[in-house]
Every structure is written in C-alpha cells, then in structure tokens.
Chain A
Amino acid sequence: MLRIVQIAAIALVTFATGAATMTVMNTDIPDLAVPDGDWVAGGALDGRAFDILGTDLASGAVLEDEIIFRDGSFLSVDCQSYCDFGWSAYRTKTVDGVIHFTARTICPDAPHTVVWYGTVRGGAVTVDATWTTRRWYWTNQIAIRAEGASVPSFTGGTTG
C-alpha cells in the first residue's frame, strides 16, 4: 500500500512540475491589436464580399481567401476550410469615408482564434490578421497581411 502511495506521489509531483513549467515558461502571444475607436456592430459592409491575396509574414507563404459580410456577420471562406469557424459578428467604424472593420473568429473544435482588422476604400480592401493557436504546451501565431478587391455580392451558402 505504501509503495502505491509513493508511486502516486511521485506521479503527482512530476505532473505538477510539468504543469508549473508549462504555466511559467509558455508565454502567450497577444492577438492582433485592433485600434480603438467608435466601433459599432456590423452592418456597414453587409452584402459585400472581397477576394483577397495575402502573405504569411513569417514564411512568405501566399494565402488566397474570400471574405464575406452578411447580416452583421463575417466569414472567411479559407478559414472555413480549416475549421468550422462559421459566421462571426463584426464591427465597423467610418473615418474620413474609409470603413474600418474588425472581427474575432473562434474555432469550436481547436484552440484557434483569428482576429481581423481591415479597411475598405471604395472597392479596395486591406486586411491584417493573426491566427493564434493556444495549445497547452505552446502558443503559435501566424500573422497575415492581405489586400484585395470587391467581388459580386455573396448570396449562397458557405463552403466547408
């Protein structure tokens, strides 16, 4: 009996030390910082869609995507193919005729959070985004910068 208690105690101490190591040494990476302002619930971009071409700033990998705004919600078609993020609420503010938007999308099946911030000038869009994955053993972030142009309004269902 004493032997089992000792083994359990060793296992517990090992687990606790591992957990403490992860807590102390695993540094978080903050999501994309979205500028302050008079953000209001989405609507200003409803019915619009944009094809965007972006770059993973660390690796240089090229990312193609389509972002869609509808009924106060936002969806990235490319993200949808990796995880069922679904439609997420977006917010906007207008400064000097430029529409700024932001959205935070969360994957329900894996610890991914994507924060979007972009500006729309007429038919052109520029986007900054961070895809942050917070696993119990590390935090990984992919920073993306993209730009694109308006495409005909999206009317069908979502892909993925």
Chain B
Amino acid sequence: MTRTGPGVGAVLVRLAILVGVLVLATWGAHVIRDALDLRVRPDNEQQVHRAIMLGAMAYVGLLALPFVPGAEIGIAMLAAFGPAIAPLIYAATLAAMTLAYTVGRYLPIGALERLLWRMRMRRAAALVARAAPLAPEDRLAMLLDRQPKRGLSRCLRYRYVALALAINTPGNALIGGGGGIMMLAGLSGIFAPLPTFLAVALAVSPIPLAVMFFGLRL
C-alpha cells in the first residue's frame, strides 16, 4: 500500500494557516512595540543601551544552548528597534553559533554532558549522551533527523550546505535548535572550523540582511 501525500486543498489550507499565523505574529509585534513605546529619547537612551547589551548577551548565551529558545530574543529586538539593530543581531547570532560549535568540538563529551546535567538541561544532556557512543557520521545523521539513507550520503558529501539548511529549517527546535545543531556539528568532528564558520556566516545572514537592506519591519 502506498501512502499518498496531502491533496492540493489540504496544502492550500495549511498555507493559508501559515500566512494567517505570520500576519497575526506581525500584527502582534507591532502592538507590543507600540505598547512598550521603545522610541529612543534623550531621557531613556542610557536605559535602552543597557537593555540592548543585556538582551544581546542573553541572546548569545541562550541561542548557543540546545533546546533553549533564543532566536525569539533576536526577533523581538529586530521588531522593537528595526533595521538599525540588524548588524548587532547578525554578529550575536554568529557568535552564538560559533560558541555552540566550539563547545561541542573542544569540550570533552563527558564533561559537556555533566555540565548540561548540572544546568538541569536534561534534554540537552540526553542529546549529548545519545551522540557520545556514535561514530562521527552517525552523529551527523542525528543532525539530519529522518533523512533517507541516500539523502544522508549526499548530505555527508555536502555537509556544510546541509548544516546551513538545518540551521534555517523551521521546527529545528525538535532536534535541539540552532545551538543544538551546532553543538552536534562540533561533537561529530567532521566539520572543520573555518568552512563551518563560513557556512554559518552565510546561513544566519538572510533575516538580518533582509531587514537591513530592504527595511523589512517584523
């Protein structure tokens, strides 16, 4: 028995729901921004500066952790401050991804697992524990969850492209989010630092660049 995919009607309904969610999210972001009145004025500039610095540090730290939603902070900052904050968000995202990769690559896997347990990040620790006994290629397979065998070998060959796509795939939070993916990439040992850095630098650029150059308001 062969499984048939969803019909055209079902796809259109899902698409409409997705567009609806995006419209609602955009509207909500505007409502929240207006309610917070985050305009920079002479009397609040110092507080706004401190909030941006704290937000950026929290963003880097949280985004680098597996299964911790951090991207929302970046999107919230883009929504609040617009295109002017895009370069900072881009640099912070790059720093977070590189941090996660570096931790995965250079921290002994046992120490990393214990550290995550101590931080009470059980899902992240379990992810590392699952990866520990696996061969590097199998760790990559964890990154590319549910890929068929043939697709997997192609992904292995074009692993940097696959990594960039995995970081940008909606719903990647299920396999650890950007931080988890980069940590696993580091753990796998098959991603060299420089090409990984270049792949990530390109992978995280679309949203900040779009906001910066096209003036998109979230």
Contacts and interface: CB of A to CB of B under 8 A. Distances in A.
A6 interface: yes
A3 B189 CA distance: 13
Contacts of B102: 7, 10-11
Nearest to A23: B87
Contact of A7 (B42, B90, B106, B212): B106
Contact of B87 (A3, A26, A82, A142): A26
Interface in B94-143: 94-95, 98, 101-102, 106
A24 to B, nearest CB: 8
A158 interface: no
B195 to A, nearest CB: 12
* Interface size range on B against A: 20 to 34
B165 interface: no
Interface string A1-21: 001001101110110011001
B94 to A, nearest CB: 6
B98 A14 contact: yes
A59 B197 contact: no
* Interface size range on A against B: 20 to 34
Contacts of B86: 25
B201 A112 contact: no
Contacts of A138: 81, 84-85, 87-88
Given A137-B85, A142-B42, A21 B91 contact: yes
Nearest to B45: A133
A139 B88 CA distance: 12
Interface in A114-151: 131, 133, 135, 137-140, 142
Contacts of B87: 21-22, 25-26, 137-138
A18 B91 contact: yes
Contacts of B81: 138
Contacts of B56: 137
Contacts of B197: 10, 13-14, 17
Given A9-B193, A21-B87, A135-B49, A14 B94 contact: yes
B69 to A, nearest CB: 22
A11 B105 CA distance: 13
B200 to A, nearest CB: 10
Contacts of B45: 82, 110, 112, 133, 140
B72 interface: no
A17 B88 contact: no
A58 interface: yes
Contacts of A140: 40, 45, 84
The 7 A-B residue pairs whose C-beta atoms are closest, nearest first, are A18-B91, A25-B87, A137-B88, A138-B84, A14-B98, A82-B42, A59-B39
Given A22-B88, A138-B88, A142-B41, 14 more contacts: A10-B101, A10-B197, A17-B91, A21-B91, A21-B94, A22-B87, A59-B39, A61-B39, A61-B41, A78-B42, A112-B45, A131-B42, A138-B85, A142-B42
8 contacts: A10-B101, A14-B197, A21-B87, A21-B94, A25-B212, A133-B45, A137-B85, A142-B40
